[in-house]
Structure 1
Amino acid sequence: MFMQDFDKIISRENTNSVKYDLRSLYFGNKEVIPMWVADMDFETPSFIQEAVKKRAQHPIYGYSIKPKSYFDSIINWMEKRHQWKVKREHIAFSPGVVPGLVLALMTFSKPGDKIVVQSPVYFPFFSSVLDNGRQLVVNELLEKDNYYTIDFVDLEKKLKDTKTKVLLISNPHNPVGRVWKQEELEKMVALCLKYEVLLFSDDIHADLIFDGYKHRVAANISPEAKQICISFMAPSKTFNMAGLSTSFVIIQDDNKRKAFENTIEAYHLGLGNLFGTVALEAAYEEGEEWLGELMSYLKKNTELVADFLKKNIPQITFAKPEATYLLWLNCKSLQLNDKDLASFFVNKARLGLNNGSVFGAGGAGYMRMNIACPTSVVRKALMQLQKVVEENNLLSK
Structure 2
Amino acid sequence: MAKRYDFDEQINRRGSASIKWDGADRIFGGKDLLPMWVADMDFRVPDEVTSALKSRVEHGLYGYTERTDSYLESVREWMKGRHEWQIEKRWICHSPGVVTALNLIVDGFTKPGDKILVQPPVYPPFIKAAINQGRGLIENPLVCERGRYHMNFTDLERKMSDPSVRLMLLCSPHNPVGRVWSRDELLRVAELAAASHVLVVSDEIHSDLIFKGFHHIPFASLSEEAQQHAIICTAPSKTFNLASLQVSNIIIPNDQLRKKYMNQIRRFNLSEPNTAGMIAAEAAYRSGSSWLDQCLDYIKRNADYVSTFFRDHLPMLSMSPLEGTYLGWIDCHRLRLGKRELQNFMVQKAGLALNPGYTFGEEGAGFVRINLACPHAYVEKAMKQLKRAVDTLKR
TM-score of the alignment, normalized to the shorter chain, above 0.5:
yes
* Displacement of 1:338: 0.5
Alignment-derived partner of residue 176 in structure 2: 175
Deviation at 1:2, TM superposition (A): 6.1
Q: Is the counterpart of residue 317 in structure 1 residue 318 in structure 2?
A: yes
Q: Is the 8 A contact 1:51 1:282 kept in 2?
A: yes
Partner of 2:106: 105
Once the two structures are superposed, residues 323-357 of structure 1 have per-residue CA deviations (whole angstroms, 9 ceiling, x without a partner) of 01100000001111101111111000001000000
C-alpha separation in 1, matches of 2:371 and 2:239: 14
After TM superposition, give the deviation of residue 3 of structure 1 in Å: 2.2
CA distance in 1, matches of 2:68, 2:42: 31
1:20-79 per-position Cα deviation (integer Å, ceiling 9, x unaligned):
111222111141100000010111221111111110111110001111110000000001
Query: Partners of 1:28 and 1:276 in 2: how far apart?
Result: 32
Matches within 5 A, 1:55-204: 55-204=56-205
Amino acid paired to 2:344: S
Q: Is the aligned partner of 1:299 residue 2:313?
A: no
Q: Share of identical aligned residues, percent?
A: 43
**Which AA in structure 2 matches 1:274?**
T
Equivalent AA in structure 1 for residue 351 of structure 2? R
Q: Which SS does the other structure have where 2:364 is aligned?
A: coil
* Matches of 1:317 and 1:117, distance apart in 2: 25
SS in 1 for 2:94: strand
SS at 1:178 equivalent: coil
Equivalents in 2 of 1:30, 1:280: separation in Å? 35
Q: Which residue of 2 aligns with 1:278?
A: 279
Number of equivalences: 394
Contact 1:119 1:139 survives alignment (8 Å):
yes
Whole-angstrom distance in 1 between the partners of 2:204 and 2:315: 32
Distance 2:145 2:9 in 1: 38
Task: Identify the residue that residue 243 of structure 2 maps to in structure 1.
Answer: 242
1: CA distance between counterparts of 2:321 and 2:298? 14
The structure 1 segments of at least 4 consecutive aligned residues displaced by more than 2 Å after TM superposition are none
1:219 match: 220
Separation in structure 2 between the aligned mates of residue 379 and residue 336 of structure 1, nearest angstrom: 24
Q: CA deviation at 1:362?
A: 1.2
Q: Which residue of 2 aligns with 1:209?
A: 210
Query: Could you tell me how far 1:266 is from its partner in structure 2?
Result: 1.2
Counterpart of 1:365 in structure 2 is 366
- For residues 80-122 of structure 1, what are the alpha-carbon distances to aligned partners after superposition, in whole Å with 9 as ceiling and x for unaligned? 1111111011110011000011111112101221000000000
The 3-state SS of whatever aligns with 1:362 is helix
Q: Residues 31 and 351 of structure 2 are in contact (CA less than 8 Å); yes or no, is this contact kept in structure 1?
A: no
- Give ranges in structure 2 of 5+ residues lacking alignment: none
| Partner residue, 1:265 | 266
Give the match's secondary structure for 1:292.
Answer: helix
Distance verdict in 2 for CA 1:2–1:334, change over 3 Å? farther
Alignment RMSD:
1.0
CA offsets 1:268-300 (integer angstroms, 9 cap, x no match): 100120010101100100011111100110011
Partner SS for 2:307: helix
Please say if residues 140 and 361 of structure 1, whose CA atoms lie closer than 8 Å, have aligned partners that are also in contact: no
Distance (whole Å) between structure 2 residues aligned to residue 52 and residue 20 of structure 1 = 24
TM-score, scaled to structure 1: 0.98
Amino acid at match of 1:180: W
| 3-state DSSP of counterpart to 1:269 | coil
Letter in 1 for 2:5: Q
Aligned residue for 2:394, secondary structure, equals: coil
Q: Secondary structure at the match of 2:163?
A: coil
Preserved contact between residue 147 and residue 321 of structure 2 (Cα < 8 Å):
no
- Corresponding residue of 1:39: 40
1:103-162 per-position Cα deviation (integer Å, ceiling 9, x unaligned): 111121012210000000000111111011100111000111111010111111111111
**Partner Cα separation in structure 2 for residue 183 and residue 66 of structure 1:** 36
> Which residue of the partner structure matches residue 55 of structure 2?
54
> Whole-Å Cα distance in 1 between the matches of residues 3 and 85 of structure 2?
29
Distance in 1, matches of 2:123 and 2:255, equals 29
CA distance in 2, matches of 1:231, 1:383: 40
Distance in 2 (CA, whole Å) between partners of 1:2 and 1:332 is 43
Amino acid at match of 1:296: D
C-alpha deviation, 1:361, in angstroms: 3.0
What one-letter code is carried by the residue in structure 2 that aligns with 1:115? I
Match of 2:256 in 1: 255
Which SS does the other structure have where 2:166 is aligned?
Answer: strand
Residue equivalent to 1:230: 231
Amino acid at match of 2:228: Q
Deviations 1:162-212 (A, max 9, x none): 111001110000000000100000000011100100000000000000000
Task: After TM superposition, give the deviation of residue 385 of structure 1 in Å.
Answer: 0.6
1:379 matched to 2:391: no
Q: Deviations over 1:214-273 (max 9, x none)?
A: 000111111110111100000100101100010010000001101100110111100120
SS state of the match for residue 392, structure 1?
A: helix
Q: Which amino acid aligns with 1:285?
A: R
In structure 1, distance between residues paired with 2:19 and 2:112: 31
Distance 1:59 1:142 in 2: 53
Code of the aligned partner of 2:78: W
